[in-house]
C-alpha cells in the first residue's frame, strides 16, 4: 500500500501483524486497496443509527445520519467526521483519476470519494466505502 499524504499514521503495524488481525478479505481491501463486490457488503442497506469506524483500528469515521441511498452497491456517505477522520489522495490506478479515501488514523483503504454526481445531499459528495473496511457501533437507546 502506498503511503498516504499528510501526517504519518498514528497506528503502525507490520504487514504480518495486519495479516494476523484481519481476515484475508479485510486485508485485501484495507491494506492492499482492494474493493469488495458491489451489493455484497454488510452495510449497503443498513439503516441503523450509530457511528461507523475503521475495521482495522477502530477510529470513528462517519455518522449514520450522513449515510444515504446512492444505489451504487456500496455504503455511501456525504461527509466524514471532522478533524482528519479520513485522508483523501489522488488515485490514478486503473487508468482514471479518482480520489481514494483512507483512515486518518491508520491509513487503511476505505474506498473513494466522488463529486458532482447530482445526489441531493448537502455536499454533493459521495464517499463510496467498502463495508469490509468499516464496523457499525449502534447508538444506545
Q: Is 103 a catalytic residue?
A: no
The answer to the question of residue 3 being in a domain is: no
CB 61 within 8 A of CB 134: yes
The answer to the question of residue 92 being in a domain is: yes
The answer to the question of residue 6 being in a domain is: no
The answer to the question of residue 9 being in a domain is: no
Please tell me the total count of domains within the chain. Answer: 1
pLDDT in tens, 85-107: 999 999 887 788 889 999 999 99
The answer to the question of residue 87 being in a domain is: yes
Catalytic hit among 54, 57, 106, 128: 128
The answer to the question of residue 79 being in a domain is: yes
- Which residue range is the domain that position 118 belongs to? 15-138
- Can you give the CATH number for the domain in which 130 is found? 2.170.150.20
pTM of the shown model:
0.90
How far apart are alpha carbons 70 and 66 in whole angstroms? 12
pLDDT in tens, 56-76: 999 999 999 999 999 999 999
Amino acid at each position: 500500500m502506498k503511503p498516504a499524504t499528510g501526517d504519518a499514521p498514528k497506528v503502525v503495524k507490520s504487514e504480518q501483524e495486519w495479516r494476523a488481525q484481519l481476515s484475508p478479505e479485510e486485508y485485501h481491501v484495507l491494506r492492499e486497496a482492494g474493493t469488495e463486490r458491489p451489493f455484497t457488503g454488510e452495510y449497503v442497506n443498513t439503516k441503523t443509527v450509530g457511528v461507523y469506524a475503521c475495521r482495522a483500528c477502530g477510529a470513528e469515521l462517519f455518522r449514520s445520519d450522513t449515510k444515504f441511498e446512492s444505489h451504487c452497491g456500496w455504503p455511501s456517505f456525504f461527509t466524514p467526521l471532522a478533524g482528519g477522520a479520513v485522508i483523501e489522495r489522488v488515485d490514478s490506478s486503473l487508468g482514471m483519476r479518482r480520489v481514494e479515501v483512507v483512515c486518518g488514523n491508520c491509513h487503511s483503504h476505505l474506498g473513494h470519494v466522488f463529486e458532482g454526481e447530482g445526489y441531493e445531499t448537502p455536499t454533493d459528495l459521495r464517499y463510496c466505502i467498502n463495508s469490509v473496511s468499516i464496523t457499525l457501533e449502534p447508538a444506545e437507546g
